[in-house]
A and B are shown apart, each in its own frame.
Chain A
Amino acid sequence: MKEKLEQIKLEAVSMLEAENADLEQIRIRFLGKKGELTSVLRGMGALSAEERPVIGALANEVRQYIEERLADAAVAQKAKENEKKLAKEKLDVTLPGSKIKIGKRHPLSQVQEEIENIFIGMGFEIVDGPEVEYDYYNFTALNTPENHPARDTQDTFYITENILLRSQTSCVQARTMEHKAPPIRVISPGRVYRSDAVDATHSPMFHQIEGLVIDKGITMGDLKGTLEIFAKNMFGADTKIRFRPHHFPFTEPSAEVDVSCFVCGGEGCRLCKGEGWIEILGAGMVHPNVLRMGGIDPEVYSGFAFGLGIERVVMRRYNIDDMRLLYENDVRFLEQF
């Protein structure tokens, strides 16, 4: 009987080793209810009391061995099958994916949002103001009374004698001071209007972002520091800024602010017309008359304000040479950003 068991073991192993062995059939043949091993065990009754445990143990050993080899063979066979399947299913991965169309934000919105995020990070809030505005907020409250020559520097669209299309987002400064007590830290993006005919660098409607900070002890150094952080975040960590004296009726001192050219880094190139600097915004310390008109005591508080044209940043950043493209909304243009 012992020989019989050894033979069964050898036979099973040889069958398992065959190519494409039918594992289920092997299992049934050797381990099934009517299988060879089972019939051997059934014949154990004829054995002596001494032989029975020895043969029993051997039979179990053989069963376990076959079972294990069957499991191994199953794993190996599965692996082979998978391999075949994988080989058969090879794709040209360079073919294009199924198109899922993602639309693009308008480049003006992208840049506006980026600027907003930089200032939110510095603790600013975003406030809004009307575009159709009283001339009071656009001019008078900004230290530009009627018949002030500075009113000429911006050709303004009028609706009535007292109502106009705001020519600058600075109106929001005046409105904010009326509604909020210091400390004030706001920016206000939006559309502004000036009577400029459309050409490659002018548009009668464009976008600005105004910024205003008012508190005790605000200095011109703070203005510079704030704009520096903005410029570095917007244009790159190596960006430098430069202040040039200028005049705005609502700030004193006032400055025009240049950033080092983000293409050449200040060496001079085609983008910056060889100057190494690009003018991007106007800024200054809030004029005491403006604070006073906003109900804020200039003896106690000081502040700074700045305004920047979004189109200019967009055009510089993406190297767009014609402003009209921004309002034509050609899909082939929009999808580039």
Chain B
Amino acid sequence: MKLPLKWLADYVNIGNPDIKDYCEKMTATGSKVEGFEILGEDISNVVVGKINAISKHPNADKLVVCSIDVGEAEPLQIVTGAKNVNVGDKVPVALNGANLPGGVKIKTGKLRGETSQGMLCSIGELNLTTHDMPGAIEDGILILPTDAPVGTDIKEYLMLSDTVVEFEITPNRPDCLSVIGLARESAVTMDSELKLRTPEIKDCDGKVEDYISVRVDEPTLCPRYTAKVVHNVKIEPSPLWMRSRLRAAGVRPINNIVDITNYVMLEYGQPMHAFDYKCLDGKQIVVRCADEGEIFKTLDSNDRTLKSSMLVIADAEKPVALAGIMGGENSEITDDTKTVVFESANFYGAGVRITSRALGMRTESSGRFEKGLDPELTMDAVNRACELVQLLGAGTVAEGTIDIYPEKKAETVIKLEPERISNFLGTYISEADMRATLEKLCFRLDGDKIYVPSYRSDVECMNDIAEEVIRIYGYNKIESTRFRTSAAEGKLTPKQRYYRGLCTALCGMGLNEIQTFSFISPKYYDKINLPEESVIRNSVVISNPLGEDTSVMRTTAIPSMLEVLARNNNYNNTDAALYEMAKVYIPREGIVTNDKGIPGTLPEEKTKVVIGTLKGDFYALKGIVEAVVEFTGVKDVEFEAVTTCPIFHPGRCAKIVKDGIELGIFGQVSYGVCENYSIDKPVFVADLDFELLLANAGDVAQYKPLPKFPAVTRDFSFMCDVDLEAAKIEKVIKKSLGKLLDGVKLFDIYIGAQTGGKKSISYSVSLRAPDRTLTAEETEAAISKMLANLDKELGITIRS
């Protein structure tokens, strides 16, 4: 809301405060100031001048030399190229040293050899439009009225100076979207006198009933409909003072009748509409719901297809306005309008909101109605409009007012509980102070009853009264205290502790944490080569996304990681090693109604630990994965080769399995996927399930006595098929040695000319008993059994 301070002065005398001080104080009492603008600041030394003589420029055909009276002893000589000036015209003259909008400075100089002591101004040069200055032309000098006093500062003459304060009004205070509303707040804030007045209409002619009747079919959607008629209308531009105020408030002047409706809306906060009476069939206004599918052309020349839930203002035959949103082209005010019906109505906010959203139409009017306006406003507003008609001489007001207001809005009454308010705020404010504040805010007090003004529908309960009191008393006078409450445990849950610990561990392994968007493009699934039928593509879809690239909630965070790796590779961060604690969103099957009776099922939100690196090899990544497993305390996991995952290299991918449950997958990203991301080097990615890791973490460790007896260690080299997995050999070794096994460690793998198409794999195996030194016989027996099993189960033998 833009508030011109000259307009504000009609309703409150705040003196002449420092503008910054005023803004700060208003913000402190709840009317947040976004900023202020000093209009006319960029214009100086421009005055009204009169052209005394025009002569040809001796050196230029397209220029003329004017002699101009600016109220000084000597006339000025000014060269101009404008075609529209005549001797005797009054024009704006920028004098030597003048400043014009856009940083233009005017100085005396020579134009083609002739001295020019200034410049004649067009509307554009004064930052005005033909709306601000009706009748002026854009490509010529602004010709002022003949009675403009020579020498007068143009800012004064054209009313270009004002200070405009822009407020950010919260949706609960539609009353403050008006000059009068902000005058009320200013009066309390600045401790100044509020000067409210009731509009007065005199000298009416004709009767409103003879012109029109109104019927409201939908009193819920239209609690009040007030109308007046003006005849003998003469459409013309509104006077300069009105145009100047509208312009300052950011509204484009159009003509006297339309300007009046806008002026009243800005002043009172009540949107108004003017119908051309001759376009209303049957001398009748009917407030009804639209016919389903009815087509209606609004003022902006768009055809709107209406629904039966939408409220329209109609005459006997057809809709003439979309209630509270926009008028119709069919009853618009035009230059030959002779009789006008002013509508000042109250429409139900939610109704206006539904219609305006359904039609995609947000207007100044609908924005105001949506917030819930005071039905008590309509009468003063329509009277003010007619008062202005009379002031402007724009027409003759017919006697009487049509006012359909079947159910007067009940007054809100709240009990004043001073002690409770003080306790609630934690700051003592005396009852007398509370009463004084409320009265200044126009609340009426009677004993302990507070009568809330009708325009303050946001005030409903004790909390609201407390806010009214404290915002004027001063939020910053509230004393800071520490709450007293029964002891609570401020602590992390085991899951939160694990989350933090794991992050620390991953950082300790040299990985940087990343954060990526939870929504992705469905094309991300293509980029990781998922088949069309993959269930992973089944995502939660956003119905109104910003764009395709953020339109579905990810079910996997691998593509996000690959994007980041690719970006870093492009930035030449070629040794990037990263992780993300990434949320993924897995749709749940079936439509269920939840315990609130709300249909629909929320997806399962899971956290994935996604690791990605551009350096090292498969085993470097596996080392990280194993460290995560060890840190978590998951015992006895197995790694199984995965050859069919489309994201990964079929020969370099494994899953982590614990008791048949897959805890994660990792490996080298397949070449095809790397190409999709234009990464020209090996990429390694792991995707681990945070919740499953945690769920499989071991219990609290139990101490095992440190060994007292020596271990026997033997090294073996086996020959086996190249494809035989080491894990299978280890499994047989472990099983064969049973309780005597102390450790088994791979120390060499060799494939070469001497191995004859096979591989040599070497282990160091150690045996130990907790309660005795192993004898040579015992050791040999155990080892023989192990070798026999290896031969029998895997067909491998010791390398000779």
Contacts and interface: CB of A to CB of B under 8 A. Distances in A.
A262 to B, nearest CB: 19
A328 interface: yes
Nearest to A156: B544
Interface in B584-617: 585, 594, 596, 598-600, 602-603, 605
A220 B427 contact: yes
Contact of B602 (A130, A221, A332): A130
Interface in B493-552: 493, 496, 500, 503, 506-519, 540-546, 550
A245 B425 CA distance: 14
B593 to A, nearest CB: 10
B363 interface: no
A158 B596 contact: no
A74 interface: no
Given A132-B540, A132-B603, A149-B349, A106 B513 contact: yes
Interface string B539-573: 01111111000100100000000001001100101
A103 B483 contact: no
A124 interface: yes
B543 A243 contact: no
Contacts of B600: 134, 160, 162-163
A152 B483 contact: no
Given A103-B508, A159-B541, A126 B492 contact: yes
Interface string A307-337: 0000000000000000000111111101100
B543 A221 contact: no
B517 to A, nearest CB: 5
Contacts of B508: 102-103
Contacts, number: 252
A142 to B, nearest CB: 14
A205 B518 contact: yes
A327 B492 CA distance: 27
Interface stretch (B133-141, B158-166, B458-466): B458-466
Interface stretch (A29-37, A45-53, A80-88, A115-123): A115-123
Given A102-B510, A134-B602, A157-B542, A330 B487 contact: no
A240 to B, nearest CB: 10
B171 interface: yes
B69 interface: no
Interface residues of A, number: 84
B481 A222 contact: yes
B181 to A, nearest CB: 15
A67 B130 CA distance: 119
A219 B512 contact: no
B568 A149 contact: no
Nearest to A207: B515
Interface string B695-713: 0000000000000000000
Contact of A252 (B464, B481, B511): B464
Given A106-B513, A245-B475, A162 B480 contact: no
Contacts of B541: 159
Contacts of B568: 329-331
B543 A158 contact: yes
B546 A197 contact: yes
B583 A221 contact: no
Interface in A203-237: 204-205, 213, 215, 217-222, 224-226, 228-229
A222 B426 contact: yes
Contacts of A246: 30, 32, 170
A113 interface: yes
A246 B27 CA distance: 9
Contacts of A102: 507-508, 510
B512 A162 contact: no
A2 interface: no
A332 B571 contact: yes
A78 interface: no
Interface string A99-113: 011111110110001
A204 B507 contact: no
A195 B487 contact: no
B476 A332 contact: no
A121 B489 CA distance: 9
B514 A334 contact: yes
Contacts of B198: none
Contacts of B496: 126
Contact of A123 (B488, B507, B602): B488
A253 B466 contact: yes
A219 B513 contact: no
Contact of A221 (B370, B480, B576, B603): B480
B463 A287 contact: yes
A222 B482 contact: yes
B772 interface: no
Contacts of A243: 475-476, 478
A119 B423 contact: no
Given A106-B513, A252-B463, A225 B507 contact: no
B479 interface: yes
B565 to A, nearest CB: 9
B714 to A, nearest CB: 35
Contact of B485 (A165, A215, A285, A334): A215
Interface in B5-56: 27-30, 32
Contact of A224 (B349, B480, B487): B480
Contacts of A162: 598-600
B91 interface: no
Interface in A113-145: 113, 119-126, 130-134, 136
A331 B576 contact: yes
Contact of B424 (A134, A225, A285): A285
A174 to B, nearest CB: 10
Given A152-B171, A185-B485, A255-B475, A220 B470 contact: yes
Nearest to B595: A178
A131 B488 CA distance: 27
Given A185-B488, A246-B32, A219 B482 contact: no
Interface in B115-146: none
Nearest to B31: A245
B350 A147 contact: yes
Contacts of A63: none
Interface of B: 27-30, 32, 170-173, 349-350, 353-354, 370-372, 423-427, 461-464, 466-467, 470-471, 475-476, 478-493, 496, 500, 503, 506-519, 540-546, 550, 553, 564, 567-568, 571, 573, 576-579, 581, 583, 585, 594, 596, 598-600, 602-603, 605
20 contacts: A103-B509, A124-B490, A126-B493, A132-B602, A149-B349, A152-B370, A158-B542, A163-B600, A183-B485, A191-B583, A204-B546, A213-B485, A215-B483, A220-B424, A221-B425, A226-B482, A228-B480, A244-B30, A329-B512, A330-B568
Given A105-B503, A243-B475, 7 more contacts: A103-B506, A132-B540, A162-B598, A162-B600, A219-B483, A220-B424, A221-B426
